[in-house]
Structure 1
Amino acid sequence: MKYKLVVSDVDGVWTDGSFYYSSEGDVIRKFSTKDSYGISLCRLANIPVLILSSEKNMMVEKRMKKLKLRYVELGRKNKLKVISSYCNKMNIELSEVAYIGDDMNDFPLIGKVGFFACPEDAYYGIRKAANSVLKKKGGNGAFREFVEVILEKSGDLEETYAKYINECLQTQE
């Protein structure tokens, strides 16, 4: 199955789910650069990525802007409604969506999207119901592993990595 939209939660997937507070009250999150390779792979495979979080945070906005992501929806509680809207705009079915999430607010998507995965340290109810439980924990490359899994399922992983390596070789000249 070739998925036509990759959707990812943020907290617990791109981060370890922790919030760090400065003495001024600023909220800081740690992101892994490993996950940015997942974005690169999606671009090379021509699969759009939607970042979808029920939390709205400036640090997340800045990280996604740095990655030059076109579709970012933060502060959205009804994730199924948002994804359905994107499916309508893109003229695709929910069954053509691959989603990664980790906690109870992602539960309504299980059985609705075509493929649902979660990090190894996701809430146990999510792990039990997911199509795939990844080996990586949230904040430690789980998004990249997720992209590799869906590209492997579609038979496109080796070709996509070959494209990536070729691009790297061309930019070194």
Structure 2
Amino acid sequence: MNADLQQRAQRIKLAIFDVDGVLTDGRLYFLTDGSEFKTFNTLDGHGIKMLMKSGVRTAIITGRTTPVVERRARDLGIPHLYQGREDKLAVLDELLGELGLHYEQVAYLGDDLPDLPVIRRVGLGMAVASADPFVREHAHGVTRARGGEGAAREFCELIMGAQGSLEAAQSAYL
């Protein structure tokens, strides 16, 4: 990890995730009855749980609304879920006011243009490898993994590594 990312990650108290293209591969699956399903990566889920256990708060902000995301957030224990919110920067401001945090204490992982205002505003704004090229260009860093394929886990481990909690989290399984 480069020195700039490490320094930014050390200050993080809240990690925020987009859903489509970040926690999923970005594809939308619709059944004939109109219902929707998404696939999530279990490595990402465990990374988010480890991050929360290390003391970093978590949130999801997504422009779409679906019960599948509500269930995934509940299953992972993510306490702050904002669905159907196109203006993600406004949501960020609400959340920071509620939690008493500052922009530099926030990390965000996104993939597309609606994520860019938040990526540029927070202390650690990152894009997944499969993100739009313009978004990758303006992020502080880009994961090696693609969205839905371990990018969130990589993001979580980057933060934990910078904060010195990753080794203990991993060692608990030895």
> Do Structure 1 and Structure 2 share a fold, with TM-score over 0.5?
yes
Query: Within 5 A, what are the aligned runs for 1:18-167?
Result: 18-162=27-171, 164-165=172-173
| RMSD of equivalent CA atoms | 1.4
- CA shift at 1:25, angstroms? 2.2
Question: In structure 1, how many angstroms separate the alpha carbons of the residues matched to 2:99 and 2:33?
Answer: 42
Asked if structure 1 preserves the Cα contact closer than 8 Å seen for 2:11 and 2:104, the reply is: no
What whole-Å deviation, never above 9, does each CA across 1:8-33 have from its counterpart, x for those lacking one? Answer: 00000010110112122222111111
Following TM superposition, where does structure 1 have runs of at least 4 consecutive aligned residues deviating by more than 2 angstroms?
A: 153-156, 159-162
Letter matched to residue 74 of structure 2: K
Letter matched to residue 59 of structure 1: V
In the alignment, structure 1 segments of 5+ residues that lack a partner are: 167-173
Letter matched to residue 157 of structure 1: L
Q: After alignment, is 119-128 or 64-73 more displaced?
A: 64-73
Q: How many residues align?
A: 165
What whole-Å deviation, never above 9, does each CA across 1:118-152 have from its counterpart, x for those lacking one? Answer: 11110000111111110111111111111011122
Q: Partner of 1:54: helix, strand, or coil?
A: coil
- CA shift at 1:160, angstroms? 3.0
Question: In structure 2, how many angstroms separate the alpha carbons of the residues matched to 1:44 and 1:161?
Answer: 12
Q: TM-score, with normalisation over the residues of structure 2?
A: 0.89
Q: After alignment, is 21-30 or 47-56 more displaced?
A: 21-30
Question: In structure 2, how many angstroms separate the alpha carbons of the residues matched to 1:105 and 1:41?
Answer: 27
Letter matched to residue 30 of structure 1: T
Aligned to 1:17: 26
- CA shift at 1:90, angstroms? 1.6
Question: In structure 1, how many angstroms separate the alpha carbons of the residues matched to 2:165 and 2:155?
Answer: 13
In the alignment, structure 2 segments of 5+ residues that lack a partner are: 1-9
Question: In structure 2, how many angstroms separate the alpha carbons of the residues matched to 1:141 and 1:110?
Answer: 19
Q: After alignment, is 23-32 or 89-98 more displaced?
A: 23-32
Which has more radius of gyration? 1
Letter matched to residue 165 of structure 1: Y
Q: TM-score, with normalisation over the residues of structure 1?
A: 0.89
Q: After alignment, is 141-150 or 64-73 more displaced?
A: 64-73
Question: In structure 2, how many angstroms separate the alpha carbons of the residues matched to 1:70 and 1:2?
Answer: 20
Asked if structure 1 preserves the Cα contact closer than 8 Å seen for 2:12 and 2:56, the reply is: yes
Instruction: Give aligned-pair identity as a percent.
Output: 33
